[in-house]
Amino acid sequence: MVQRLISADEATAGGFPFAYGYLTRLDPRLRIVLAAVFAVAVVALSDLIALTGAVLLAASLLPLSGLPAKRTFKRMAGMDGFIIFTLILLPFSVSGTPIFTVFGIHASWEGLWQAVEIALTANAVILALMCLVGSMQPVTMGHALHALKAPPQLVQLLMFTIRYIETLRSEYLRLRGAMKMRGFKPGTNWHTYRSFGYLVGMMLVRALERSERVLGAMKCRGFTGRFVLLEDFRMRAQDWTFAALFLGATVLLILIELRHVFA
Amino acid sequence: MSLLELHDITFAYPAHGLTLNGACLRLGAGERLSITGPNGAGKSTLLKIAVGLLRPASGRVVAFGQDRRTEADFTEVRRRIGYVFQDPDDQLFCPTVAEDIAFGPLNLGKSKEEALAIVDSILGRMHLSHLRDRITHHLSGGEKRLVTLATVLAMDPDILILDEPTNALDIENEARLLEILQSLPQAILLISHSADFREKIAPCGYRLADGVLTPLD
């Protein structure tokens, strides 16, 4: 019953960090498409001025998305944690004009620029993705992906995950609580490993049985293998305006990249 | 004419003895019957056989005047029998309440507009309109139970099967459920351990023990 400590507000918002901003009023399909277009465009950029522009463009979405800035930057830093070692090693692994030498290994300017390029690209893309798509409720995203003709199996997997992840979690917490109530303290020993093995095994068995019951319940309501989703999306004037502005800015970034070609 | 008849049903789970051993049951239009019996007696098993989720080892299922044997036979049966499962979490699988209620009507071939109209009218009738856009797994136990009933009623079934509907309900929600059930025209098959609830919904019925149904007095 630990799971019932959710306020009504949170419940209506799905319990997920849910934003209210200008972007959240736009057509979710459009937001997904724009995020994808932006990502492809930015990955193709290599000019540092263009990339800095891309980061600024992505950052300008943040206030529009209504996402809390601090938590969003924290998540961005989380992603940076994954690539930090690549970035540190790049100056040493790329040969070129030396900057300095550590233990006889040269760091090169070329490598440093590449590292900066990758860092800017990654942060611009992740920030735009979080603002455009991350501000969406997962359910809405499922519907939007369906409307964008994403493979129905994947959309269904997503929808079932959204629906049952909480049930699985509360089942885990119930079992875990029951273990605690009988004096279980995890340690580095076989008893702990075995007990966690049982816990995971029991969750799998229960999940499997639940899936059979869910299928039974679905059949009882006439399910024959085809899902119909309810939500209808519409592109309104503000959607077209935002699409035009955002795509215009993206094209501008590409033009900055190509300025030497035209010059 | 009887809506549903079970004749000499036998059923055994793998590596267990016979759960059902010649169970017979007959449900007429508008009739309300309850089934009682100890835990594990096979009450849910029997009802699952009635809607074809399980197949009996022997015996006949006659629903709406026809013998039902194949999956295709039961597809039609399930559209006319509303089954409310024991655990609402098994039944509410769509993210939002409205979608879950619309799931059945959409499967019956209704258009989105028709399905949404059904959603609104069912919720209105059950005084649950405030739950329409809520996320199903954040509903309280009582709300979940009432919504599962709504999902089933949305298909306008001829028979309602209720498997322990009062499980985990508080007094207030049990009263709500009782009030709603009493206002329905459907024939009802009720499994319940609560003598009080049985008395109010379906005083007549059967007791299932040792794989056989015996009529209650």
Mean pLDDT by 10 residues, chain A (263 residues): 33 46 84 92 87 90 84 87 86 79 80 88 91 85 86 85 82 80 78 84 84 86 74 83 89 85 71
pTM for this entry:
0.67
Q: Which B positions 37-66 lie with beta carbon below 8 A of chain A?
A: 48, 51, 53
Q: Give the mean model confidence (pLDDT) for residues B173-188.
A: 91
Residue B81 has pLDDT above 80, yes or no: yes
> Phi and psi at residue B205, in whole multiples of 5°?
155, -155
Which residues in chain B touch residue A217, judged by CB atoms under 8 angstroms apart? Answer: 83, 85, 90-91, 93
Radius of gyration for the alpha carbons in chain A, expressed in angstroms and rounded: 24
Query: Do A109 and A99 contact (CB within 8 A), yes or no?
Result: yes
Q: How many residues does chain B have?
A: 217
Report the interhelical angle of A138-147 vs A152-181 (nearest 10°).
160
Q: Which residue has the tokens 């600024």?
A: A56
Residue B95 near residue B135, CB atoms below 8 Å: yes
What is the per-residue pLDDT for A105? 78
Burial A132-146 (b: 16+ CB within 10 A, else e): bbbbbbbbbbbbbbb
Average pLDDT estimate for B150-179: 90
Contact call for A228 and B112, based on CB within 8 A:
yes
For residue A18, the model assigns a pLDDT of 56
A222 in contact with B, Cβ within 8 Å: yes
CA nearest B77 in A: which residue?
A: A220
- Domain extent listing, chain B: 2-211
Q: Tell me, what amino acid is at A15?
A: G
ipTM for this model: 0.71
Q: What is the pLDDT of residue A263?
A: 65
Residues of B in contact with A161 (CB under 8 A): none
From B89, B94, B138, residue closest to A11, measured CB to CB? B138
Q: In this complex, do A213 and B140 lie within 8 Å of one another by their Cβ atoms?
A: no
Give per-residue pLDDT as tens, B159-169.
999 999 998 78
B58-63/B18-28 β-pairing: unpaired
Q: Looking at residue A12, what is its pLDDT?
A: 37
Q: How far apart are the C-alpha atoms of B18 and A177, rounded to whole Å? A: 36
Tell me what the mean pLDDT of segment B27-35 comes to.
92
**B101-119 tens-digit pLDDT:** 988 888 888 888 898 999 9
User: Are B22 and B43 a contacting pair, CB within 8 Å?
Assistant: no
What burial letters (b/e) apply to A80-115, b meaning 16+ CB within 10 Å? eeeeeeebeebbbebeeeeeeeeeeebbbeebbbbb
Does the beta-carbon distance from B104 to A221 stay under 8 Å? Answer: yes
As a whole number of angstroms, the distance between CA B100 and CA B147 comes to 9
Is A220 in Cβ contact with B137 (below 8 Å)? no
Measure B85 CA to nearest chain A CA, in Å. Answer: 7
H-assigned helices in A4-108: 8-12, 28-44, 48-65, 69-93
Domain spanning B2-211: which superfamily?
P-loop containing nucleotide triphosphate hydrolases (3.40.50.300)
How far is Cα A190 from Cα A217, in angstroms, rounded to an integer?
A: 40
Q: CB of A32 within 8 A of CB of A132?
A: yes
What was the pLDDT predicted at A65?
83
Mean pLDDT of B85-109: 84
Closest alpha carbon to A140 in A75, A235, A8, A232: A232
Question: Cα distance from A148 to chain B (closest Cα, Å)?
Answer: 18
